[in-house]
Amino acid sequence: MYDEEVMKKILFVITKSEIGGAQKYVLDLAKGAKENGFDVSVASEHNSYFYETLTAASIPFYEIKSVQRSINVWQDIKLFFELLSLIRKEKPDILHLNSSKIGGVGAITGKLTRIPKIIFTAHGWAFNEHRSPLQKQIIVLISKFAALFQDTIICVSEYDKKGALEHHIAPAEKLITIHNGIDNAGIAKKLLSRKEAREKLGIAETAFIVGTIANFYKNKALDTLPFAAISAAHSDVHFVIIGEGPEREKIERLIEKYQLKDRFTLTGALQNANIYLKAFDIFVLPSRKEGLPYALLEAMAAKLTCIASDAGGIPEVIENNVNGITIKHITPGKLWEAIAACRKDKKHCKELAVRGEETIQKKFSLETMVRDTLALYR
């Protein structure tokens, strides 16, 4: 059915197309695979930016209408048949699945249509989220079942690989760790200056900015920031959140309740959000659950002092007080203490930022991520 002499065809599939880490991963890999001679296409829920970026790179995009993150038997059956139709039409040699829902439904569909190679990337396991023991057990069982139909599972951190082994998701030989990587030089070229970034965001040049780029989901723990601001009641620190999501209204209510409107800027989703990083004095990521966050890699590449929780693969990027700051069992109080300490000891924080950038250059390059992933396709 598949001729080894013919250019290999890859179909990337992902649940959501709103621009977050997993979506950047798919965009980067799709473009990297195309540049290396593969025939590439991408399927996802529709998003204008996602579609336009792929179209600009001459990569075909297919809209999936039945996909959603939550479990819905009727919608999932519709998703199965939608994917079945697409896979039969595209006839890929490699099916590269991203996100838990697609990883399960897509893998079963791929096996039924006899796709030669099915790869799943776990962008942080759902069973690591804050859920009830029963919910976690159900997710583990579903993940184990899905893994039966997946030939290779890419974990974006050693933390996730260890979690997969501990929960017996798949045998060790099926699991591989490939860290997320970024185009450090490319990002540096696109960064706006501090002044220009602040002007575009409507932030005073003199303000001390603690910022983050994250979508409003429970796992991102953005509710930590208003309470940290309360801890800093007499401070002039201003908080900026670039992102969008279902938890935004909750954060807005907290900001209003505690009269913090003059201390917060919520920009909503911004295309190419990383170009605004220089507007920040400190970058924070208080997440409860992570894979290996792109936003953190990009902030470190922009030479920002970074303060983060120790969730997921973050400790594989930040060595505490060496190239950034990690906080175990993060609380608003602990976060504010770290922010205040950074502001007080500017020399030390600048050293952390410099070493952070060096870490990204040495260990988390886009070139390495693409090379190691393409090796699985060949």
Report pLDDT digits (tens) over 257-272.
999 999 999 999 998 9
Rounded Cα gap, residues 165 and 144, in angstroms: 11
Instruction: Report residue 315 as tokens.
Output: 């400790």
Domain end: 119, 143, 177, which one? 177
Query: Does one domain contain both 224 and 166?
Result: no
pTM: 0.90
Q: Are 79 and 64 in contact (CB under 8 A)?
A: yes
Query: Which one has a higher pLDDT value, 260 or 69?
Result: 260
Domain end: 177, 200, 221, which one? 177
CATH code, 152: 3.40.50.2000
Rounded Cα gap, residues 217 and 40, in angstroms: 30
Domain span holding position 348:
184-363
Flag whether 30 is in a domain.
Answer: yes
Domain end: 177, 198, 224, which one? 177
Query: Does one domain contain both 128 and 75?
Result: yes
What confidence tier does 70 reach under pLDDT thresholds 50, 70, 90?
A: low
Q: Which residues contact 286 (CB under 8 A, 6 or more apart)?
A: 212, 220, 221, 222, 224, 225, 308, 309, 327, 330, 335
What phi and psi values does residue 218 have, to the nearest 5 degrees? Answer: -55, -40
Q: Which of 134, 135, 143 is nearest to 166 (CA)?
A: 143
- For the stretch 93-136, pLDDT in tens is 999 999 888 999 999 999 999 999 999 999 989 888 878 889 88
The number of domains in the chain is 2
Query: Does one domain contain both 150 and 217?
Result: no
Query: Does one domain contain both 219 and 94?
Result: no
CA dihedral sign, ordered 66, 73, 136, 223: positive
